[in-house]
Amino acid sequence: MESIISIKNLGIDFNNKNEVVKNINIEIIKGKTTAIVGESGSGKTVSALSILKLLPNNANIRNGEIIFNNQNILSLSDNQIRNIRGNKIATIFQEPMTSLNPLHTINKQIEEIILTHNKTEKINAKEKVKKLLNEVGLEEIAKRPKVYPYELSGGQRQRAMIAMSIANKPDLLIADEPTTALDVTIQMQILDLLSQLQKKLGMTLLFISHDLSVVKKISDYVYVMKEGKIIENGSTSEVFKNPTHNYTKELITSQSNKKINVKKLEKTVLKIEKLNVWYPIKKGLLKRTVDYVKAIKNVSFNLNIGESIGVVGESGSGKTSLILAILRLIESSGDIYFKNININKLKSNQILNLRKEIQIVFQDPFSSLSPRMNVEEIICEGLRVHYPNISIENRITKLKNVLNKVGLNYSECIEKYPHEFSGGQRQRIAIARALILEPKILILDEPTSALDITIQNQIINLLNKLQSELLLSYIFISHDMKVIRSVADKIIVLRKGVIIEESSSENIFNNPQSEYTKNLIKAVL
């Protein structure tokens, strides 16, 4: 089979020191989808960026060739490579808002791509823009003359980026984590769209990802990268069926975890009854309330001691509003009983005593940990608030115990700051901060979505272990059904603030009742 790109013996380092790509060889087959998969820091994105000479200034190509149309791309001048970028080879990046100009309309940005590489009249370019927007499923946007990036949803922005990338019918489209920031159903739509466009235009696709479930769906060939090296490659079916490297086996295994059964008590620790969260819509000079956005509508459920409830749904389904209401961080109507105490009836000064018993772990540990505090200060902050008279000896004992529980060494980490740790280690610190107050309930808001798949698996195993040891109750918020399957005993499916389905994890996955739930599951299986 004919290759469109041949990467030969490519080596790349930063600052002439840190070698991030180590003499790799990759053949990208014409008309097919080739995937490069690996965790953060594996070198996959650096390898892809080198194809269009988009590496940062401190990057240095030590050796190798990248052959495209019988030319070594690495030897081309800036003018020569500019004729290829966006024309012969196009790119789609993970976060479209970083690629789209917020000051220009979507139409104008696509039009500029067309006019840069084609000798065509502006009126013809405008018509082509409309056609492209229709082609990627943005029919409503095509009818409007002025639409800015901020007016679009995440999925719509990514569709707009795809329209820009295919504007000049490129021979090769490089998609670097194009679905990572999207809900699973939107993710599936984008993948289907890319597959359709590939067939229609006869494009070659290079797909960069850390998610093997996505790679399995879309690719024909796969290269597995670790620490700058290609450790395994072959047809996608063969690699998934018969992986040879332990690292590949670990990646594949981490995709299919199921909930480990732990001890539970048939005793309710949290009871939600007819909970509503409505946000007022105010208009006019006097900002009178004219209507409400109904984020949560008559939601009711029970959480037992030692039980995990998974709350799933797309962005805008009400997941975050639900947990903020439970924590009394936003106003709500209805009843929230914690150990038979109605939280919604308590005054503000009465809430503090309950805070330590219901703790939360957030999605991004780096943004939730103060960069100016060391590990000891971060984890013990809650102790100082809730137990101001605790002795130094007791504080250190609690700190040592909780760090041991989350798999961190006391002496090695207490004086370090968040930036000195990996993503997985930072999330362990965030979990330790919550656990040191000995809560009864942990609310976990997308706690693994910012992590690589193997690290994600480690955190899930840790959470299951802690639950078994401490008889914790979890409310686990996620849009990722794979993760939910690994932690949840029971699943609540939210859509537009309403519970549309609620059952055991086994029943939801084996016999979903609603079409919405079926689509969520279909998107990841």
Give per-residue pLDDT as tens, 319-330. Answer: 989 999 999 999
- Are 235 and 294 members of one domain? no
Residue 467 lies in a domain: no
- Are 320 and 388 members of one domain? no
- Are 80 and 176 members of one domain? yes
Whole-angstrom distance, CA of residue 452 vs CA of residue 394: 35
Phi/psi of residue 134, each to 5°? -65, -40
- Are 297 and 323 members of one domain? yes
* CA dihedral of 39, 42, 47, 49, whole degrees rounded to 10: 60
The domain in which residue 402 lies consists of 361-438
Q: Who's near 363: CB < 8 A, 6+ residues apart?
A: 445, 446, 447, 449, 450
Is residue 37's pLDDT more than 60? yes
Residue 498 lies in a domain: yes
Residue 52 lies in a domain: yes
| pLDDT level of residue 256 (50, 70, 90 thresholds) | low
Mean pLDDT of the chain: 88
* pTM score, whole prediction: 0.76
Is residue 217's pLDDT more than 80? yes
- Are 321 and 353 members of one domain? yes
The more confident residue out of 230 and 421 is 230
Q: How far is CA 12 from the centre of its chain?
A: 27
Domain CATH code at residue 244 = 3.40.50.300
- What strands lie across the sheet with 473-478, from one edge to the other? 358-361, 441-445, 473-478, 308-312, 490-495, 498-504
Task: Count the domains in the chain.
Answer: 4
- Are 15 and 155 members of one domain? no
The more confident residue out of 515 and 283 is 515
- Are 350 and 445 members of one domain? yes
Looking at residue 181, its pLDDT comes to 66
CA distances from 402 to 243, 252, 382, 456, 496 (A): 37, 31, 13, 20, 38
| pLDDT level of residue 260 (50, 70, 90 thresholds) | low
- Are 286 and 423 members of one domain? no
Q: Which of 231, 253, 275 is the last residue of a domain?
A: 253
Residue 93 lies in a domain: no
Percent of residues, the chain, with pLDDT higher than 70:
97
Looking at residue 521, its pLDDT comes to 82
- Are 273 and 247 members of one domain? no
- Are 163 and 181 members of one domain? no
Residue 239 lies in a domain: yes
- Are 65 and 202 members of one domain? yes
Q: Which of 169, 203, 226 is the last residue of a domain?
A: 169
Find the range with the poorest average confidence among 4-13, 285-294, 387-396, 473-482.
285-294
Find the range with the poorest average confidence among 55-59, 110-114, 177-181.
177-181
Mean pLDDT throughout 126-147?
87
Find the range with the poorest average confidence among 6-10, 277-281, 439-443.
277-281
Residue 351 lies in a domain: yes
- Are 164 and 175 members of one domain? no
Q: Which of 253, 281, 309 is the last residue of a domain?
A: 253
Looking at residue 83, its pLDDT comes to 87
Backbone CA torsion sign across 153, 158, 162, 167: positive
Is residue 310's pLDDT more than 60? yes
Half-sphere exposure of 317 (CA within 13 A, CB side): 21
429 in Cβ contact with 378 (< 8 Å) = yes
| pLDDT level of residue 3 (50, 70, 90 thresholds) | very high
Whole-angstrom distance, CA of residue 135 vs CA of residue 91: 18
Residue 460 lies in a domain: no
